[in-house]
A = this chain, B = another copy of it.
Amino acid sequence: MASPSHPPPDHGSNSVETRSPELRKDPVTNRWVIFSPARAKRPSDFKSKSPENPNPKPSSCPFCIGREHECAPEIFRVPVDDPNWRIRVIENLYPALNRNLETQSNQSGTDRSIVGFGFHDVVIEAPVHSIQLSGIDPVGIGDVMIAYRKRIEQIAKHDSISYIQVFKNHGASAGASMSHSHSQIMALPVVPSTVSSRLDGTKDYFEESGKCCLCEAKAKHFVIDESSHFVSVAPYASTFPFEVWIVPKDHSSHFHHLDDVKAVDLGRLLKLMLQKIAKQLNDPPYNYMIHTSPLKVMESQLPYTHWFLQIVPQLSGVGGFEMGTGCYINPVFPEDVAKVLREVSLA
């Protein structure tokens, strides 16, 4: 970030050129973001410098069908018990948390330290190496969402689990060490800081306005596309360039309340957004995160807790300023991002 020799702004026709920098804070992230067009290229000029190799050598990939024996234990597959599976949910071979520590985790140490009980699973999204998530049809992507839901429902039975994070790392610079299309589910014995901070922010908004700030997504953010049950937006105070949120139109606190019909509808809009991002930004590495609510959310919190899916293309690194302040510098205004992504043609 904040490099003193950032390439000079492109002085071609650029609507943002003359704008002054602006700080924005979104109640959902509860963080200030600096929008700094003086450091920006034209929105249309953003391209990934590290596009994904669509088909790296699959010979050594344990996620490919037929190599199940090289993986950690399977939890379930789709279709159930079918050797010709389309999706597999398995344990992570090198889990960050240990699923066998539950008994101890109640007699945890100080409030500053607890034993590392938790779950760390992998969702293999396709049997064949060459298929990426965005290449699967909406029903198939819906099945991946339903697999997330099913695994969350299983894990939620454990009293010691407080929060479940579903996420996908696509591409090495987005944190993926496996090129076979997959996502991950981590279940934690604590409520992490971004979640508490999000609850604080959305609570304040609710107390001021009487509304859930994510029910207001269409009014308060910049709409890109929508499906029957979801809207995709460039958020008002997007932390990262070309960040996209997919938000349920109807108020819903927890991702795992998603029904099968909405899962396919989500699959359709997620596919569209991933395809537009790939085409516009040169197939960038990306992450997506499903931001849901703590498992034991209080009745009083339900009116202002609303799940959504955040997609972040990896276009910029992080430096000392962001690490020090938690405040990010975004060279592109989301209104410009929404305009660009609305107009991407996949024809």
Chain A residues in contact with chain B, CB under 8 A? 1-6, 8-9, 20-27, 30-32, 34-36, 38-39, 62, 92-98, 101, 111-116, 118, 120, 122, 163, 165, 167-169, 173-178, 182, 184, 186, 188-190, 192-195, 197, 236-237, 287-291, 310, 312, 317-321, 323-327, 329
Contacts and interface: CB of A to CB of B under 8 A. Distances in A.
A99 to B, nearest CB: 11
Contacts of A287: 319-320, 323
29 contacts: A1-B96, A3-B169, A3-B177, A4-B94, A5-B62, A5-B94, A6-B177, A20-B101, A20-B116, A22-B113, A23-B188, A24-B113, A25-B190, A26-B112, A31-B193, A35-B116, A36-B96, A38-B98, A39-B94, A167-B323, A175-B319, A184-B321, A192-B326, A193-B325, A194-B324, A194-B327, A197-B326, A287-B323, A290-B324
Nearest to A36: B96
Contacts of A32: 188, 190, 192-193
A118 B194 CA distance: 26
A312 B318 CA distance: 12
Nearest to A189: B23
A168 B1 CA distance: 11
A28 B25 CA distance: 23
Contacts of A8: 94
A98 B3 CA distance: 15
B113 A325 contact: no
Nearest to A289: B324
A167 B320 contact: yes
Given A24-B112, A116-B21, A193-B325, A36 B3 contact: no
A178 B3 CA distance: 7
A16 to B, nearest CB: 13
Given A39-B94, A318-B175, A326 B193 contact: yes
A184 B122 contact: no
Nearest to A114: B23
B167 A319 contact: yes
Contact of A38 (B26, B95, B327): B95
Contacts of A189: 23
Nearest to A123: B4
A63 to B, nearest CB: 8
Contacts of A34: 96-97, 116
Which of A98, A169, A194, A236: most chain B CB closer than 10 A?
Answer: A169
Contacts of A310: 323-324
